[in-house]
Structure 1
Amino acid sequence: MSSKIKTYNPKEVIVTCGTHIVTGYADDSFISIEPNGDGITKKTGCDGEIARSISPDNTYKVKLTLLQTSDSNSYFSGMVDLDRDTGNGLFPILIKDLKGGLVFSTEAAWCVKKAPVTRGKETNNREWELDTGDAAMNE
């Protein structure tokens, strides 16, 4: 078998939030992970000298898109309610592609707010926006 052939299977991407295993992913893109920091920025002086700054922000914005019928909608909705009521809505996240490649983890994440609800002739998706504390992403 050639080592140049790679296989991706969305069924082998797992997302755990605390003890909850997320299920009921949307039919297309279902995970988005975006760093919040500015990465590495630069300034160039009038004489051409360049100074670089490395952002200390290791936090991320994670978006999970789920089918409206996913049981995970209830989990995230409950976590928003818990956080608003008690401030105890933090949970760790692990996102891993079991075929290799992506591993994302953080000890502290929370739902920003409840995902919008849409109903129509066919099923719709719900997008949950999560913020994280310090996190690590390896590819």
Structure 2
Amino acid sequence: MADKFLGTYDPNEVTLSISGRLVSGFSDGTFISIKRTVSDNYKTHVGAKGEISRTKNNNTSGTITFKLKGTSPDNAFLDLIKYQPSAFPVLVKNNSDGKFMAMSSQAWINAEPDKEFAMDETEVEWVLMCADLNKSHL
């Protein structure tokens, strides 16, 4: 009989490190999203007589999107590095059950985020472009 209990997820066990700095002040809801530019591992080609071949997708680019509270001190840090001419490393890690890691040695901020003001605190959405995004369930 299979175990019924799968484990425990704790958002406090999810970390984002940008250029060696641990980012804090995440917004509620989905606060980090990791996505490959092209999600298919292979492109399939079927010939005229039904012969199938596949081509490996070597595009490892992707994005890491995250949302910070408007009061997060890391908004100022990201403002400082957004025009940096060199790329920087980024690491997302979930240390709770169902471990996961995503990393890129070459990431950059491609566009300046929008800013809103309202009656309640707003969030700032940052998007990191990654040249070599690697994802793994550990």
Q: How many residues align?
A: 133
Q: TM-score, normalised by structure 2?
A: 0.88
Tell me the equivalent position of 2:6.
5
Tell me the equivalent position of 1:109.
107
Write out per-residue CA displacement over residues 64-96 of structure 1, whole angstroms, 9 at most, x where no aligned residue: 111111111111111113x2xxx13x2111111
2:19 alignment partner AA: G
Q: Which runs of 5+ in 1 are unaligned?
A: none
Q: TM-score, normalised by structure 1?
A: 0.88
Paired with 1:138 and 1:5, the residues of 2 have a C-alpha distance of: 19
Tell me the equivalent position of 2:93.
96
| Post-superposition offset of 1:43 | 1.7
Write out per-residue CA displacement over residues 33-57 of structure 1, whole angstroms, 9 at most, x where no aligned residue: 1011343121212211112111111
2:54 alignment partner AA: R
Tell me the equivalent position of 2:58.
56
What are the residue-to-residue correspondences of 1:1-139 with 2, within 5 Å? 4-37=5-38, 38-81=40-83, 83=84, 87-88=85-86, 90-100=87-97, 101-139=99-137
Paired with 2:80 and 2:94, the residues of 1 have a C-alpha distance of: 26
After superposing on structure 2, the runs of 4+ consecutive aligned residues of structure 1 that deviate more than 6 Å are none
Which structure is higher in helix share? 1
State the secondary structure of the residue aligned to 1:76: helix
| Post-superposition offset of 1:4 | 3.4
Paired with 2:52 and 2:106, the residues of 1 have a C-alpha distance of: 36
CA separation of 1:51/1:112 partners in 2, compared to 1, >3 Å: closer, same or farther?
same
Paired with 1:35 and 1:43, the residues of 2 have a C-alpha distance of: 22
In angstroms, what is the RMSD of aligned CA positions?
1.5
